[in-house]
Structure 1
Amino acid sequence: MNILFICTGNTCRSPMAEAILKNKKLDDIKVRSAGIFASNGSNAAENALKVLQENNIHHQHTSKMLTQEDIIWADYIFTMTEGHKELIVDQHPFIADKTFTLKEFVYNSKIDTDVSDPYGGNVDVYRETYKELEELIKEMLKKI
């Protein structure tokens, strides 16, 4: 199964989600991340890497713009916000049935579907986002 996480710049939320899921070392799941407005080749946010390291997750990451190949590759596409989801589904209607916000998929709800964006925040803000993503991914794995 191929899982794609999407956020805005592919430097905070989606690479953290990718790293969390990869760290679970599940043989039948491959995972990638991308950003809808990413600059290819940027480093992950320093605080994102710090929080991952605090949780014994080591992740080499450079940002990547979302591509058609990513969209075709993925069995599930999990976005961090409703806005991300709407944008990519509007551009690629054929993916509507496999594209969800991560929260929407986990909680089966259209209310409060966005994962908080830590961009520009201090390390404590990133820790909160990490905790949120860790819990969402744990619950997501029960549903796929």
Structure 2
Amino acid sequence: MSDATSSFNDTTSMHKSILFVCLGNICRSPMAEAIFANMIKNRGLLDKWRVESAAVIDYHVGRQPDKRTLETLQKFGINDYKHKARQVAYSYNGYVVLHTNILDENLIQEYLFSNIVTTEDFRNFDFIMGMDEHNIVDLKEIEKLAGNGKASVEMFGIYDPNGANEIPDPYYEKGVGAFEKVNLMCFHFVVIKYSTLYEELPDINYLKLLMKYLNNCHGAAQHFWTKLTNWILLLIKKMPAMDVRVMYLILRSDLISLFKWPLGAVVTQGAHAATACIWAFKDDSDVVEYMKDTDHMRKITLQVKDESELKSIATVLQENDIDHRIWIEDDMPVCIAVKPLPKNIVQKHLKHLQLFS
């Protein structure tokens, strides 16, 4: 996490990137940024991510987050967050443009900042998350002007299992109660987003910090905590235990993006690799135990970007004596199937990889 100028740095070395967006970038989106960054930091993944936040309008550009935002984060144990509000940026005719309420292309020239060195948000972030429907409408409009981009623009609350949920703006509310509720909602959606990416919950110590923080919450925040607690307990029940045998499959995402393979063809390669791996180690004790419960043959499918990264993963597995099979198709390695093993043996070597999507 860093100040406004950090958003203009090259990010080609980063694996993934996420940009949280709200109206003014001093309440909701900084809170989401701080919580997400703190969570992946605790998991040793901070160097694999670029995490930032921004506004859709220029009300507060250059300002520090609202003091109630910082106070709430500090209660939550996040004491080192620093940020200056900035706007979502896109390019227009070779210039960098900061979004304004004016979307008329004839008037955009008034808002050109040609002296700013930046990477366009819609081309360089993988995920752009708005806090409410108004944010999403604005972001979709900017996306049209930004041209082709890779960013997936979504409302943050879409990850609520009970249905899409907006995060309300607490700016005009008195006191910190509304900020505490927003903080809990951000935590809720960050945990869900994290678990969909990595097939695991955050570190248990992080959840303990949350429990400690909640002793000081007020009103609406306390009510929301009951809902959040029930959801976390349900998620824990659904997650495979660390000693449960799991088969990991690692697929190359560039088979779809670069080689234009149909998704079905890529999935088929994974099935071939899994079958070959099971057959190769059919007499192994872990495989025998894995095959006993055919109704619960757990698999986790992860992704790497290309052949080079796939080979790198194979090297890591070999160095740690983890049996696996590389599946070859069209004279190139396309997939790795790892022999079924207790999850805790394999996961620590693959925790930086994301679920295949």
TM-score, structure 1 normalization: 0.89
Letter in 1 for 2:139: I
Letter in 2 for 1:70: D
Secondary structure of the corresponding residue to residue 90 of structure 1: helix
Measure the CA separation in 2 of the matches of 1:35 and 1:97.
16
Letter in 2 for 1:9: G
Give the deviation of 1:65 after TM superposition.
1.1
Measure the CA separation in 2 of the matches of 1:87 and 1:113.
18
Which residue does the alignment assign to 1:80? 131
Which residue does the alignment assign to 2:155? 101
Task: Compare relative contact order (CA 8 Å, sep 6+) and give the higher one, 1 or 2.
Answer: 1
Give the deviation of 1:70 after TM superposition.
2.1
Measure the CA separation in 1 of the matches of 2:82 and 2:152.
27
TM-score, structure 2 normalization: 0.38
Letter in 2 for 1:33: S
Give the deviation of 1:112 after TM superposition.
4.7
Which residue does the alignment assign to 2:170? 118
Measure the CA separation in 1 of the matches of 2:123 and 2:176.
35
Larger radius of gyration: 2
Secondary structure of the corresponding residue to residue 92 of structure 1: helix
**Unmatched 5+ stretches in structure 2:** 1-15, 91-119, 198-357
2:189 equivalent to 1:139: no
Which residue does the alignment assign to 2:87? 65
Measure the CA separation in 1 of the matches of 2:151 and 2:121.
16
Which residue does the alignment assign to 2:276? none
Percent of aligned pairs sharing the same letter? 26
- Which of residues 23, 26, 40 in structure 1 aligns to 2:61? 40
Give the deviation of 1:73 after TM superposition.
1.6
Do the aligned residues in 2 keep the contact of 1:89 with 1:95 (CA within 8 Å)?
A: no
Measure the CA separation in 1 of the matches of 2:78 and 2:160.
26
Letter in 2 for 1:114: E
**Unmatched 5+ stretches in structure 1:** none
Measure the CA separation in 2 of the matches of 1:97 and 1:46.
30
2:10 equivalent to 1:5: no
Give the deviation of 1:42 after TM superposition.
0.9
Which residue does the alignment assign to 1:18? 33
Change in Cα spacing, 1:96 to 1:80, as seen in structure 2 (3 Å) is farther
